[in-house]
Amino acid sequence: AQTVTQSQPEMSVQEAETVTLSCTYDTSENNYYLFWYKQPPSRQMILVIRQEAYKQQNATENRFSVNFQKAAKSFSLKISDSQLGDTAMYFCAFMKPSTIIQGAQKLVFGQGTRLTINP
Amino acid sequence: DAGVTQSPTHLIKTRGQQVTLRCSPKSGHDTVSWYQQALGQGPQFIFQYYEEEERQRGNFPDRFSGHQFPNYSSELNVNALWLGDSALYLCASSLMGFADTQYFGPGTRLTVL
């Protein structure tokens, strides 16, 4: 079974700073997907970024980028020029690819990191 | 483009009662997954529906059941509620075999007294 670990329960930085959230995972699969989701106080889970394991290049979405180290099973999220609206719980998640027989796969989530951006 | 919608937003029940939660997937999606999120925890997978069948199930008792309708919307039913069922219930939709990305609804907050 896959497991996802986020070792930082809480983090706090000043607005405009850069912050990195850590995530490690355990799997015997070679092909899989990794995600970062953001859950603000409004509680809606919002997709931040996605990485395919077969891609060497790290994914980037505007101010959000990842450092994917497949051999180390590490998947950290870097937020540049942090903004007050980035305050939220951040969850790292793992998923195997879907198959026609098994259907779409489930997301396996970490425990989350509570990120606070201070003015 | 309508996103994933869930109803109701909040629900209060007493122990032993039954509850039904509803989810409409994002336009164009055909797969619905349900997750339970206890306070301060990451979401836990309950089950998933595709082509009106339960395709996968997490480690949840049979008190948790579901259904998917021809229009791809879904229901989550929980019987014999107990205090430990109090949680945020999240619905996520995706398109089978494409991108494998799940998009979440706003959730239903269930409180069992």
pLDDT of residue A83: 97
What is the reported pLDDT for B68?
A: 97
Residues in chain B predicted with pLDDT less than 50, given as ranges, are none
Flag if B42 and A112 touch (Cβ within 8 Å): yes
CB–CB contact B55 A102 (8 Å):
yes
Contact A106 B48 (CB under 8 A): yes
Share of chain A above pLDDT 70, in %: 96
pLDDT tens digits for range A51-71: 999 888 999 999 999 999 999
Q: In this complex, which of B41, B90, B100 lies closest to A45 when CB atoms are compared?
A: B90
Q: What is the pLDDT of residues A78-107, one digit of tens each?
A: 999 999 999 999 999 999 877 766 666 889
Write out chain B residues lying below 8 Å of A91, CB-based: 42-43
Three-class DSSP category at B84: helix
Give the residue numbers in B contacting A (CB under 8 Å), as ranges. 31, 33, 35, 40-45, 48, 50, 55-56, 58, 88, 90, 92, 94, 96-97, 100-107, 109
Distance (Å) of CA B46 to CA A4, A89, A115: 17, 21, 27
Tokens of A82: 């942090």
Name the amino acid, one letter, at B26: K
CB contact under 8 A, A110 and B42: yes
Angle A98-A6-A19 from CA coordinates, rounded to 5° = 110
SS3 content of chain A, % helix, strand, coil (to 5): 5, 50, 45
Report the C-alpha gap between B11 and A31 in whole angstroms.
40
Q: A1: nearest CA in chain B?
A: B58
Cα separation, A78 vs B21, in Å, equals: 36
Give the model confidence (pLDDT) of B77-107 as tens digits: 999 999 999 999 999 999 876 667 899 999 9
